[in-house]
Amino acid sequence: MDRMPVGILLLILLSLLIYLGIGHRVLDRMRLSDRAALLMIGAMVVGSLIDLPLLPHLSLNVGGTLVPIGLAIYLVVGAGTREEKARALIGALVTGLAVYLLGTYLMRGIKEPAGRYDFLEPLYLFPLVAAAVAYLMGRSRRAAFVAATLGVLLGDLGHYFWVLKSRAPITVNLGGGGVFDATVLSGLLAVLLAELVGEARERLQGGPETEGRPLALLKNLRPPGEEEKDGQE
């Protein structure tokens, strides 16, 4: 019996945490309700079973490509400032380049030996690199998630062009297989990194930055219970 993919296991665990009421603060800051988050997770799990043929040597996994892209578009559109939107998109390009170079010229790729070294498992190395680069470029939770997930997918797309150039007898499944796991891991790690570092920075500076941010965004950034406290005063 084949083992369940790491990405699916993580999504199931994440859905349980959301159902139990854990992670409300992160979802609020990403402007996602519990119901919306659970629907996205369900769509990714079901979509991971669906592969659409596109071109010779290229297919597309619905759960690993279309759902993350749709979520990324939603997060970019709902971003607080133009700078955050720009950071998310530029971060995705930089992350994609980092993942592509790492898999093509250094490490052995997820789907075939593309690089020189195999001292670390690409399934775990790619998300670590993607999450770190995405956070450094995106900084906010939304921008980091967008940069990480889209970055991994862009790296996989670059891998397809590498296959065409090298004429390797390989069919690339965008967002499928190990890339699905890497996409899920990258997004979760990027948000976790942004949450930990962002929370520490906000505590040091006495709260989130407010200059130039919309009022609706600032309302979502307020710590839980602060509104009730203001109302009592």
* pLDDT, tens digit (0-9, with 9 covering 90-100), for 33-66: 889 999 999 999 999 999 999 888 899 999 999 9
**139: in domain:** yes
In which order are the strands placed within the sheet that holds 58-61?
Answer: 51-55, 58-61, 172-174
Within a domain: 177:
yes
191 located within any domain: yes
pLDDT at residue 177, rounded to an integer: 81
Q: Which segments of the chain have a pLDDT < 70?
A: 1-4, 106-123, 198-233
Q: What is the pLDDT of residue 110?
A: 45
Domain that holds residue 115: 51-203
- Within a domain: 43: no
* Residue 227: predicted pLDDT: 41
CA distance readout (Å), 159 to 102, 105, 184, 219: 11, 11, 18, 41
pTM of the model: 0.79
Q: Is residue 197 part of a domain?
A: yes
Give me the pLDDT at residue 124, please: 72
Within-domain flag for 104: yes
Instruction: State the CB neighbour count (10 A cutoff) for residue 215.
Output: 7
Give CA–CA dist 114/106, Å, rounded. Answer: 8
**What's residue 1's pLDDT?**
40
| Per-residue confidence (pLDDT) for residue 200, from 0 to 100 | 67
Domain tally, the chain: 1
Q: Is residue 45 part of a domain?
A: no
> According to the model, what pLDDT value does residue 126 have?
79
